[in-house]
Chain A
């Protein structure tokens, strides 16, 4: 078969064009993945940033004898529906704590109802037209404003969106992670040290290795089933508590820490060990005084990443009951608590439109913490990474 020079050069052109196509298509795929990321963050920011602002209105509060019995009486009729019921409820207590307030009338900035908040942010709101005009008038007088939302960071969960905050969930996350770290870190590092430095390469060691890789790939919800059946039903650990949540997450984080620690130990060159053995160190002395200190940055990096993973985990915690409604900040390991992702999950299920904003706000806080953790891990690795 003979082909003319033109045929071959046309064929060559086509082949090179195909090659370029592949390059562009694959580049497009990477771009698409990046686009997803950008869209996702943009969406979360647009939805969540308003949560850090909350409407407040300046109203005349009349601390009268009547208001002590009936808080509504402290406000004039016009602004009553605009003020958060959570604020009204506190008026009698404030009078009780501060008796000289009684009989005075003050202008105060108070938390507005979430509908006012939604209205001021330009969202759909259930305010009646009359109430809307009141809000507009207040706004024109500078008596209705969006201010930085401190309630969001100091309050626990609430059924009233304007009072709902992440404080109790943040505390729950902290307690749970303390338990997780206290269990997963020592056991993980010890397991890795045993497998890398002590164990002979026998059946048992291989079984443990295969097992660890499998554990890392088991769906997280199954750890929840384990926590429910073993920790709660069998050992009687209190349900919904940071203790049971932390234990469950610890088992889940264990493989991550083990694998990271093994990699870190493996990257310490043999010559260090030989030198230490050479001057008469025992195996444990070699590990404790030479190998572990050199591997420590790697171990820390792996543990931080593992903790970040545990922090974002929800499914197993739902199974062990950590989706409770927790209005007050508790700092006990055995009382019911909730964690940030679970709080996000609870809020996402609320029908009230104002909670969408709270949910996104909570997500932004969670993402900020996770990104900080991961960035710390990366910086740590960059700073202490040693090439031998």
Chain B
């Protein structure tokens, strides 16, 4: 028999046992109650308890067994494992039926089980973070065993080309050795992020000011969801837009001014990324500006300040922590953005200050390293995890700072819905 069939059989048997447990449990509870004894719970609750006591331990046993099988490579044949689980299920069924007594709190028992199951589900999000951390850190450590950490942080040449020869044990044949200096990648990431912020922060912030302070209610209710559409467009679509439409425009505009621009210039992905981030900044800033207490505006207007001065000198300074927090989140978003840069930015690591040249970014190199056909243990593939680690650390710190800022704002003005 194939493993799939065995598993299907197991599930079928377990379902059948569960069904039997339900009816036996209910029958017993009904019988006891019909005898005139007062019980702590309803027959259905006893029935469900028997189901839980039948299926729960059996599933736990098979899960633990499966885990051992996968992780520790323990040699337990699937057939024996599942047969054992079914045995446990039968045992659980017997115990469950035995437990159906008037003085047993079936409802509370179920309640406890449900609480544990829910808590288990909540733990999965923690496990995900740990999973990301372990997978990235583990592989990054393997990378740093091959390459020097210092070289990675300070080197200005990213040339992984020869690493697959080294992995194949033919290092001498390659004329140059692989170099993993990540500075040009971070320079590219920084440049594109900076361009994106130059577009997104002014436009997003001003749009938020207009929506929160000037706009009539009708415009506001229409403009906000319309802007959200910009955030809902998939990044791969933006990437195509940047590469096919925006980049040629930039090249011809630059040509008009007598400048030479590459078709993979850093400006196009930067601008398009900025457009993508506008709703992110405008929406958050709008919420923050709206939660600045009205008494502050009224006080300022009562002193004879114009509406513009009130906004500039009272509202914005008050909302500043929130605005900075939104901007930091936006920066972290821009740094981790992948598709736009993969499609529109260059592949060549290039350390330059000219946004019209082609530059590459951290995320581009991660994708390039993992979509090639090198074997997994080669230094180039592992370098993706080292870059991922740096990306993780940077975005995480930006997010944390941003959370602290918004909390400070919230405490100052006692706003709860941010």
Residues of A within 8 A of B (CB): 15-16, 18-23, 25-30, 32-34, 36-37, 40, 43-44, 47, 186-187, 190-191, 193-195, 198-199, 207-208, 210-215, 217-226, 228-230, 233, 235-236, 251, 254-255, 258, 282-284, 308-309, 311-315, 318-319, 323, 341-342, 344-345, 348, 356, 359-360, 363, 366-367, 370-371, 374, 378
Contacts and interface: CB of A to CB of B under 8 A. Distances in A.
B273 interface: no
A348 B343 contact: yes
Contacts of A198: 115, 118-119
A319 B114 CA distance: 36
16 contacts: A26-B210, A26-B214, A30-B223, A33-B275, A43-B245, A213-B403, A217-B332, A219-B391, A221-B363, A225-B136, A283-B111, A308-B232, A314-B338, A359-B240, A367-B233, A367-B237
Contact of A15 (B134, B139, B309): B309
A312 B131 contact: no
Given A18-B309, A315-B235, 18 more contacts: A23-B214, A29-B207, A29-B210, A32-B203, A33-B230, A194-B122, A199-B122, A212-B125, A213-B399, A218-B336, A219-B395, A225-B135, A225-B370, A236-B70, A314-B234, A315-B342, A344-B240, A348-B239
Contacts of A319: 366-367, 370-371
Contacts of B295: none
A223 B132 contact: yes
B132 A37 contact: no
Most buried by B among A18, A219, A235: A219
Contact of B241 (A23, A43, A186, A190): A43
Interface footprint category on B: 35 or more
A309 B333 CA distance: 15
A214 B234 contact: no
Contacts of B400: 214
Majority secondary structure of chain B interface residues (helix, strand, loop or mixed): helix
Contact of B388 (A25, A210, A225): A225
A15 B306 contact: yes
Given A191-B121, A191-B125, A226 B135 contact: yes
Contacts of B337: 219
Contacts of A215: 125, 128-129
Contacts of B124: 187, 191, 254
B176 interface: no
A363 B240 contact: yes
A47 B400 CA distance: 42
